[in-house]
Structures are given as C-alpha cells and as structure tokens.
C-alpha cells in the first residue's frame, strides 16, 4: 500500500486535501498530517512514506527545506498558492505541483501521474528527483517574478562591522542555527537570512545547493572526490576543508 503524509499550516486546507485524497484514492494510507515544516521533516524521517504532499510556505521549515532534507525515497508533491506560470511549467514534470484551491480534475491527474511513477522501475532514486524538482522550482519561481534579478551583494556581519560582500566572492553559504554563514577565501561573515530564502535569490546557474545546509559557488569549484563508500565531496579554491554532497544532490554533478 502506498503511504503518504500531508503538511500544511492551514488545518482546514490540510483536512480538505486529506478528504479529497481519501475519496479519490481510497487505498492510499495517509499516515500523518503535519501543521509545520519541522513536524513534516520529522514524520518523513520516522515513517518513510512513499509520498509527501508539502505546502511550500510553512513555519519552522518551508516545503522546499523539507524536500531538501529528504534522504530516503519519499517523493514530493508541492501544494501551494503560487502563480500560474510555475503551475503550467510543472504540468510537464513527473512528480507534481498542485495549485490551491484544489480542483478535482487536476488532483485526479496528479494521482494518475503518481501511480504511473510508482509503478515504473526507478530510473533514479526519489531523493534525486526531489532535488532536481526543487532546483527547477526555484528557478521557475524566480523567473515568474517580473523584474527579479539574482542577488549581487549581501550585507553581512563580521568583526563588529557590517560588510557589503559581493556574492561572486563567496565560496559557499552554510546554515548555522538562526544564521547563515557567508564564507569567502579570506573571511567569514554571518547574515540573518534562512538559507532557503537566500537560495531563491541566487543565480541557479552559478550557485548550487549540495546539502540541506550548504550552497556552493560553482565558480570556485576546484575538484570533486568520491570516497570508498561512494560519498561525494567538493573542494573549493581558497578553502582547505572538503564539503560533503548529500545523496539527493549527487546527480547534479554527474554531467561534470
């Protein structure tokens, strides 16, 4: 039996989706309904459902952050109120992107698409699919904002001052509790911006998320290395420590 969780911080919308799914897909086992991103991430790690229907904007962790942290084979369907442009683009994707308010016909197509995906032999693992979908979603969301341009500078604290740091000089960004660390070849700074919000403002052609907590600047990538367990590590010019790549993001480097 296929299992699923639903995560939405608006209880009536979560109940609505749950009811529609139970009506349209009676054999689907909905094992948990979360009202925030932290609960959703915990439930996915604990219950390892086949599917996660994730609202994008939730307290604690966004749906994007939850998806980034999935290490197993749980496949993600984003459920959100974002614009029609992104929705139309994702009409052609494998796993899906549902727009609120839900329409019966659209939900039925999603269910059919999921069933086909689950029945097919896995070409790549679910985590990799989620990583690729998340990258594509970010790009589409940025493109759908008229006049949106990639971030060029960040205002970051360090050494008792506020610095104007050009993002092209940044080696990597790394989440650290309530802050994000900004690392250049010569200094380290802090900004009060969650890494998911930062990722949405960076140029996806140059900045890749390689772990739920790490975004690297490809312009500074020096080498990659696999260890005996096939785990992938990156080395950046100007930084002596290798950075691990989460399994969900390894596929990004296969063509390099």
DSSP 115-126: HHHHHSPPSS-H
- For residue 50, pLDDT beyond 80: yes
Q: Where residue 164 falls among pLDDT bands split at 50, 70, 90?
A: very high
pLDDT in tens, 189-207: 999 888 877 887 888 888 9
**What pLDDT score does 199 carry?**
82
d(CA 221, CA 83): 34
Q: What is the mean pLDDT of residues 218-227?
A: 92
**What pLDDT score does 85 carry?**
41
Q: What is the mean pLDDT of residues 208-237?
A: 90
* Mean pLDDT, the chain, integer: 81
d(CA 200, CA 220): 20
**What pLDDT score does 130 carry?**
56
pLDDT in tens, 103-139: 888 888 889 888 888 886 555 555 555 555 656 566 5
The edge-to-edge listing of strands for the beta sheet with 243-245 is: 221-226, 232-236, 243-245
pLDDT in tens, 69-98: 777 788 888 887 765 445 443 443 446 777
């Amino acid at each position: 039996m296929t299992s699923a969780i639903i995560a939405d911080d608006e209880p009536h919308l979560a109940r609505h989706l749950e009811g529609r799914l139970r009506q349209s897909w009676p054999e689907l086992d909905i094992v948990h309904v979360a009202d925030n991103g932290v609960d959703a991430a915990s439930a996915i790690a604990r219950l390892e459902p086949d599917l996660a229907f994730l609202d994008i904007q939730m307290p604690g962790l966004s749906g994007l952050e939850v998806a980034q942290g999935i290490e197993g084979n749980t496949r993600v369907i984003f459920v959100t109120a974002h614009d029609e442009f992104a929705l139309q683009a994702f009409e052609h994707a494998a796993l899906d992107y549902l727009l609120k308010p839900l329409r019966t016909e659209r939900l039925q197509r999603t269910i059919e698409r999921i069933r086909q995906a689950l029945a097919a032999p896995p070409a790549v693992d679910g985590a990799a699919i989620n990583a690729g979908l998340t990258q594509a979603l970010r790009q589409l969301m940025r493109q759908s904002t008229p006049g949106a341009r990639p971030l060029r500078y960040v205002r970051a604290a360090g050494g008792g001052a506020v610095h104007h740091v050009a993002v092209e000089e940044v080696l990597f960004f790394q989440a650290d509790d309530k802050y994000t660390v900004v690392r250049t070849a010569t200094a380290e700074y802090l900004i009060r911006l969650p890494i998911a919000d930062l990722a949405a403002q960076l140029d996806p052609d140059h900045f890749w998320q390689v772990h739920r907590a790490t975004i690297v600047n490809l312009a500074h990538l020096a080498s990659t290395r696999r260890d005996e367990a096939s785990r992938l590590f990156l080395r950046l010019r100007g930084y002596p420590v290798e950075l691990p790549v989460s399994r969900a993001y390894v596929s990004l480097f296969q063509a390099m």
